[in-house]
Amino acid sequence: EAGVAQSPRYKIIEKRQSVAFWCNPISGHATLYWYQQILGQGPKLLIQFQNNGVVDDSQLPKDRFSAERLKGVDSTLKIQPAKLEDSAVYLCASSELAGDAWKEQFFGPGTRLTVL
Amino acid sequence: AQSVSQHNHHVILSEAASLELGCNYSYGGTVNLFWYVQYPGQHLQLLLKYFSGDPLVKGIKGFEAEFIKSKFSFNLRKPSVQWSDTAEYFCAIPRAGTNDMRFGAGTRLTVKP
């Protein structure tokens, strides 16, 4: 079974530039998550989609971050403009439809972003 | 709000040593707790989980964790570590009623051959 795919794996940009990350979840997984993992910290949820609708984006810095999940499959996360503190690994995860019961999340390899 | 804390940032052990990584949670209600592992160059993956019942839960690769409600703890243990256990270990707790995982800062384990 194919896992969660993410691209690019690495990205280096200058501050104030924009960047986009792409995620392809496991086939059939209705729920998709984007996490930010800053060096030395655990992953922090940025946004959760259920199919193509947003379930939770309370921790997404909406002045510069945006995400979409068109057609309920692939998702993109964008940062515009980037700041130095956005340097982190951005993880995508997916799970079966997460309703009342807990569903295991499967993580992708992440995209390591460096903002100079 | 639900959260977990891990006090050991980096643990270095020799092969065959016993392992215990600490995890404390802050929530007084029904608790579900998890340990995740990230091997070098690999994806974050689930190691074990606790929902209810037997407070001693067993996971993959010989790991186990014990839920002690009176101590708000869910420590990860392994009787004898191997070099291949070198990884980063994260304790996690979901926000109540959601699949939103709250992770601890992680503990980096280095096992010397």
pLDDT of A43: 95
pLDDT band at B100 (very low <50, low <70, confident <90, very high): confident
Q: Which residue has the higher pLDDT, A91 or B97?
A: A91
| Cβ neighbours around A44 below 10 Å, total | 16
List phi, psi (to 5°) of A57.
Answer: -135, 30
| Beta carbons of A42 and B43 less than 8 Å apart | no
Q: Identify the segments of chain A with pLDDT beneath 50.
A: none
Rounded to 5 degrees, what angle do the CA atoms B90, B93, B98 make?
Answer: 135
- Residue B39, min C-alpha distance to chain A (Å): 11
pLDDT of A33: 96
In chain B, pLDDT over 90 holds for what percent of residues?
A: 76
pLDDT band at B99 (very low <50, low <70, confident <90, very high): confident
Task: Give yes or no for a contact between A30 and A97, defined as CB atoms under 8 angstroms apart.
Answer: yes
List phi, psi (to 5°) of B61.
Answer: 60, 30
pLDDT of A1: 61
Q: Can you list the positions of beta strands (E) in chain A?
A: 5-7, 10-13, 19-24, 31-37, 44-50, 53-56, 65-68, 75-79, 88-95, 106-107, 111-115
Round to whole Å and give the CA distance between A81 and A64: 6
In B, which residues are within 8 Å of A105 by CB distance? Answer: 46, 99, 101
Average pLDDT of chain A? Answer: 93
Query: B94 to chain A: nearest residue by CA?
Result: A102
B27-81 tens-digit pLDDT: 767 789 999 999 998 999 999 999 888 999 999 999 999 999 999 999 999 999 9
- Is the peptide bond preceding residue A8 cis, with omega within 30 degrees of 0? yes
Average pLDDT of chain B? Answer: 92
Interchain CB contact of B100 with A (< 8 Å): yes
Round to whole Å and give the CA distance between A25 and B100: 17
Per-residue DSSP letter, B96? T
Judged against a pLDDT cut of 80, whether residue B96 lies above it is answered with no
The DSSP secondary structure of B49-88, one letter per residue, reads EE-SS-SEEE-GGG-EEEEEGGGTEEEEEESS--GGG-EE
pLDDT of B103: 95
In A, which residues are within 8 Å of B97 by CB distance? Answer: 100
pLDDT of A90: 98
In chain B, pLDDT over 70 holds for what percent of residues?
A: 99
pLDDT band at B2 (very low <50, low <70, confident <90, very high): confident
Question: Which of A55, A105, A106 to mutate to probe the B interface, most B CBs <10 Å?
Answer: A105
